[in-house]
Amino acid sequence: MLNPDLKLNPKLFDPDVEVKPTRHGYGDGLLELGEQNPNVVALSADLTESTQAHKFAEKFPDRFFECGVAEQNMAAIAAGLGVSGKIPFISSYAVFSPGKNWETIRTTIIYNHANVKIAGHHAGIMTGPDGATHQATEDIAITRCWPGIKVIAPCDSIEAKKATIAAASIDGPIYLRFTRDKTPTMTTQDSPFEIGRTFEFWISDKPVATIFSTGYMTYYALLAAKELEQENISINVANVASIKPIDEQTILSLIDKTGAAVTVEDHQVTGGLGGALAELLAKKKPTPIEFVGLQDTFAESGKPLELIEKYGMGKGSIKEAVKKVISRKDL
Amino acid sequence: MVDELHEKKLKDLEIKANRIRQLIIETLVAAGSGHSAGPLGMADIFTAFYFHILNHDPKNPFFEDRDRLVLSNGHICPVRYATMALAGYFPVEELKTLRKLNSRLQGHPHRTSLPGVETTSGPLGEGISQSIGMALAARLNNKKYHIYCIASDGEQQEGNTWEAVMFAGKDKINNLTVVIDRNNIQIDGFTENVMPLESLKAKYEAFNWEVLEADGNNIRAFVDAVREARAVFEKPTVIIAHTIPGKGVDFMENRFEWHGIPPDTQEVKGAPPKGEQAKKALEELKTLQGKVESEHQ
């Protein structure tokens, strides 16, 4: 069942559950930050409205910098602002930032220790009709490898707003992953969110496997969990919003109960949440893992839900992965 | 503002520049790797900055209202380090640690390793952008300090450079002055053979910058150019500073082979044999290439 302690959306499983894009959470969070903290500034690379920075831009035009189609410049300007006492938020599609400007960020923000917050949008294949060039599916892999970076993938727009606001309070760079499509609201204002923490969204009496999911894919993991329960397969589902730092303690205690893991993400199965979990478990508690995500391929144009199905990431694929990992236990 | 440079001070700066060139050679030999031509060529400009132009305090490298000097072409850091040492940021002795394990003097400058180094650089094309960010912050905070950004001519080939140039022209970033080290060399040869840059002046003007030119090895001429740049309010300014790569050492001047190597590690056309290069270079610097008999050092 849904974990009652987390005060999740009681209508989560309704067919007409509220749907809102996580990028809206960024926009709302950024605006609120602007009101609270005069040092927060924002930059955009010609994608202001799409990345929802326009609300901030309209209210605080002196603190908003339009860089045009120039993501490297945007990142390095932010670095200059960041070492000068400002708290810059840069936003673009993740394929461009941190994609195109990866080295600029590495040198001027990460290694330079500049206090810049990087918002990568249109993450995942559910970006839809724009096609693979615009669907960021390697962004978690290329960011979590940076020393000291924090990597957060919020599961819904409510978490997205909390993550954005939290980003301003931490010292140093952080990567926030946002998405285009309207996706189900799973949490409420009262649900806990904390950088470095993972929360168990679905709990069972005697779970036999754990799903670790991130971003809106947690919704499909929950649908899978509910259906598996009907088949008498009990599992638990943990929402990993904080991919780095990863919540070792919670994850290991969940694995203690189940001894089998399935990772679920709208990202390549290489190097994302799956990779992070595999690194942790291989070191601390070797466990069979099945990886649900993009299987070393690019996706294509299409409707978000069509793409999830075609590329093996829907609730059916998740259920299969759970059954497979259970069969691998004690081998 | 930047004061006019009087004769007596000019003489003093020229002596300091010469001392810095000696320190560069000694530092590079101790390190066993690093760049010679750029640092030697830029010794006059760095002297002008640290001993005349900048509002700064070696004993208080982070004071809020200091001018910022950003080095975009981070590989020429030996001249920055040597100048900072002479200016009192750290002991001259520490120069021997360049590029060695545990050193604060990283092969390419790292901001948090050494107080006074305003940013991390090495990968080219990122300095002007960072300088713009600093200039914007100063504006937001109503601060009067100035941002100077030294960039190489080679890095004008990086696309990021032009993104920054476009932005500064649009936003009329007038608390920024860029200085291009126009020494005409890069790793693979002369800039005009590798990837021609001329007319650099026309390019910057097209993006709404004020363009000045100066002899980068003439301290007074350079200071005058900076004074003129500081008087321009409607646009960002770039000073194209013509320098001689390897300036001060006859066998290095104008030879691109000396871009990326220190003395005494390789046989180089036109140079003394491998083990005698530093010795000859220091002799030349001591006597200002045969022009004086030096009683100093």
DSSP secondary structure letters along chain B? -PPP--HHHHHHHHHHHHHHHHHHHHHHHHHS-S--HHHHHTHHHHHHIIIII----TT-TT-TTPPEEEESSGGGHHHHHHHHHHHTSS-GGGGGGTTSTT-SS-SS--TTTSTT--S---STT-HHHHHHHHHHHHHHTT----EEEEEESGGGGSHHHHHHHHHHHHHT-TTEEEEEEE--EETTEEHHHHS----HHHHHHHTT-EEEEEETT-HHHHHHHHHHHHT--SS-EEEEEE--TTTT-TTTTT-GGGSS--TTSS--TTS--GGGHHHHHHHHHHTTTTT------
Statement: residue B295 has pLDDT above 80: no
* Assembly ipTM: 0.95
Chain B closest-CA separation from residue A91 CA (Å): 16
Residue B91 lies in a domain: yes
pLDDT tens figures, A250-285: 999 999 999 999 999 999 999 999 999 999 999 999
Statement: residue A132 has pLDDT above 90: yes
Statement: residue A86 has pLDDT above 90: yes
Statement: residue B112 has pLDDT above 70: yes
The pLDDT of A156-183, averaged and rounded, is: 98
Q: How confident is the model at residue A47 (pLDDT cuts 50, 70, 90)?
A: very high
Written as one letter, the residue type at A141 is A
Residue B293 lies in a domain: no
Instruction: Show residues of chain B in contact with A88, CB under 8 Å.
Output: 133
Higher pLDDT, A330 or B91: B91
For chain B, the farthest-separated pair of C-alpha atoms sits apart, in whole angstroms, at 56
Query: A257 vs A201, A236, A252, A284, B184, CA distance in Å?
Result: 15, 10, 9, 15, 67
When divided into structural domains, chain B yields a total of: 1
Are A68 and B112 a contacting pair at CB < 8 A? no
Residue B295 lies in a domain: no
pLDDT of residue B288: 76
- Collect all residues from A whose CB is shorter than 8 A from any CB in B: 41, 62-63, 65, 67-68, 70, 72-73, 75-86, 88, 103-104, 107-108, 111-113
Residue B195 lies in a domain: yes
Q: Which of B112, B126, B137 sits opposite A81 (nearest CB)?
A: B137
pLDDT of residue B293: 62
Statement: residue B95 has pLDDT above 70: yes
pLDDT tens figures, B42-90: 999 999 999 999 999 999 999 999 999 999 999 999 999 999 999 999 9
pLDDT tens figures, A179-235: 999 999 999 999 999 999 999 999 999 999 999 999 999 999 999 999 999 999 999
Are B130 and A62 a contacting pair at CB < 8 A? no
Q: How confident is the model at residue B292 (pLDDT cuts 50, 70, 90)?
A: low
Instruction: Show residues of chain B in contact with A85, CB under 8 Å.
Output: 137, 141
Q: Are A217 and A263 in contact (CB under 8 A)?
A: no
Q: How confident is the model at residue B1 (pLDDT cuts 50, 70, 90)?
A: confident
B164 touches chain A (CB under 8 A): yes
The pLDDT of A165-179, averaged and rounded, is: 98
All structural domains of chain A, each given as residue ranges with its CATH number in brackets, are: 4-13+192-328 (3.40.50.920), 19-184 (3.40.50.970)
Are A73 and B163 a contacting pair at CB < 8 A? yes
pLDDT of residue B296: 55
B73 touches chain A (CB under 8 A): no
pLDDT tens figures, A1-42: 999 999 999 999 999 999 999 999 999 999 999 999 999 999
pTM reported for the whole predicted model: 0.96
B186 touches chain A (CB under 8 A): no
pLDDT of residue B294: 54
Residue of B nearest to A116 (CA): B133
Best B67, B126, B161, B178 residue to mutate vs chain A (most A CBs within 10 Å): B126
Range of B130's domain? 7-286
Residue B42 lies in a domain: yes
Statement: residue A52 has pLDDT above 70: yes
B115 touches chain A (CB under 8 A): no
The pLDDT of A317-321, averaged and rounded, is: 98
Instruction: Show residues of chain B in contact with A90, CB under 8 Å.
Output: none
Q: What is the mean pLDDT of chain B?
A: 95
How many CB pairs below 8 A link A and B? 100
CATH at residue B198:
3.40.50.970
What six digits make up the tokens of A54? 């326009």
Q: Which of A185, A110, A200 is nearest to A154 (CA)?
A: A185
pLDDT of residue B230: 96
Q: How confident is the model at residue B234 (pLDDT cuts 50, 70, 90)?
A: very high
Residue of A nearest to B165 (CA): A73
pLDDT tens figures, B196-226: 999 999 999 999 999 999 999 999 999 999 9
B66 touches chain A (CB under 8 A): no
Chain B closest-CA separation from residue A129 CA (Å): 29
Residue B292 lies in a domain: no
The pLDDT of A144-163, averaged and rounded, is: 98
